[in-house]
Amino acid sequence: MFNLVFFAALRERLGCSQLQWPVRAACVNDLISELQAQGEPWQSALARPDLLCARNQTMCSRHTDIKEGDEIAFFPPVTGG
Amino acid sequence: MQTVIRVQEQPFNPAEEYSLRPPAPECGALVTFIGTVRELAGEHLHCLTLEHYPGMTEKALQTITADAHQRWKLTDITVIHRIGRLEVNDPIVLVSVGSAHRADAFAACEFIMDFLKTQAPFWKKETTAQSDHWVEAKDSDQQALRRW
């Protein structure tokens, strides 16, 4: 399984902070498509072009390969400091 | 070289941080930046709530401070970032950088802040009497990275 985590405005929009998701997708992009296939609010919330992602707590691109046991995070641009 | 990274709910006191952990003897210049909660332009900010991604936050800050150490000759780096509920004037973040001479400390302090603002997974939510909303990231923060 993938451990999916969501933060901030995205977490609120999805009404979901964490999700166990079966491993089918080979890269982040495929995973986003699978999640979006669930319909709204996933479809539009994950369509934002500025959506950021991290694999095992390191920022990654949408082309990054993912595998069993990975923690994949999705979140909006960061606003700390 | 000393590096301290802390992410905490508790307030911090810059003077106390200095006296508890003075810079290394080789340090001749200590540049400290403190980011504080700013009042809104048109209405009163009731509070600011900071969310973060536990684990990744510390990892991102470690990467940023390690990069700063690679780039400049530094004696000390302290990064403290608060999470949770804050009010106007509260310190949010402290970045303190020491080096033998001031040029490296000034540059590294700006470098760390520029990367913290774009790479460390923190998010701010503003609450007013009327509503609450998530703060949007600024393009100017992304542009600030280009100078490095």
Whether B117 and A50 lie within 8 Å, measured CB to CB:
no
How many A/B residue pairs have CB atoms within 8 Å? 73
Min Cα–Cα distance to chain A from B60, Å: 7
Apex CA A7: angle with CA A50 and CA A27, to 5°? 60
Whether A7 and B53 lie within 8 Å, measured CB to CB:
yes
What is the structure's pLDDT at B1?
79
Share of chain A above pLDDT 90, in %: 100
Q: Name the one residue in this structure whose structure tokens are 């390690």.
A: B66
Q: What is the mean pLDDT of the segment spanning B133-145? A: 93
Give the span between the Cα atoms of B108 and B73, in whole angstroms.
9
> Which H helix or E strand runs over B15?
helix B14-20
Residue B28 has pLDDT above 90, yes or no: yes
| A52: β partners | A75
Apex CA B62: angle with CA B58 and CA B66, to 5°? 175
Whether A59 and B119 lie within 8 Å, measured CB to CB:
yes
Q: Which residues contact B116 (CB under 8 A, 6 or more apart)?
A: A80, A81, B61, B64, B79, B81, B93, B95
Q: Where are the beta strands (DSSP E) in B9-44?
A: 29-36
Q: Is A73 in the B-facing interface, judged by CB distances under 8 Å?
A: yes
Chain B contact set for A72 (CB, 8 A): none
Whether B53 and A80 lie within 8 Å, measured CB to CB:
no
Per residue in B62-94, pLDDT (tens digit) is 999 999 999 999 999 999 999 999 999 999 999
Q: Which residues contact A3 (CB under 8 A, 6 or more apart)?
A: A18, A19, A20, A21, A69, A70, A71, A72
Residue A75 has pLDDT above 90, yes or no: yes
The alpha carbon of residue A65 and the mean position of all alpha carbons in its chain are separated, in whole angstroms, by 13
Can you give the pTM of this predicted structure? 0.95
Per residue in B95-137, pLDDT (tens digit) is 999 999 999 999 999 999 999 999 999 999 999 999 999 999 9
Whether B93 and A8 lie within 8 Å, measured CB to CB:
no
Q: What is the mean pLDDT of the segment spanning A52-72? A: 97
Residue B42 has pLDDT above 90, yes or no: no
Residue A7 has pLDDT above 90, yes or no: yes
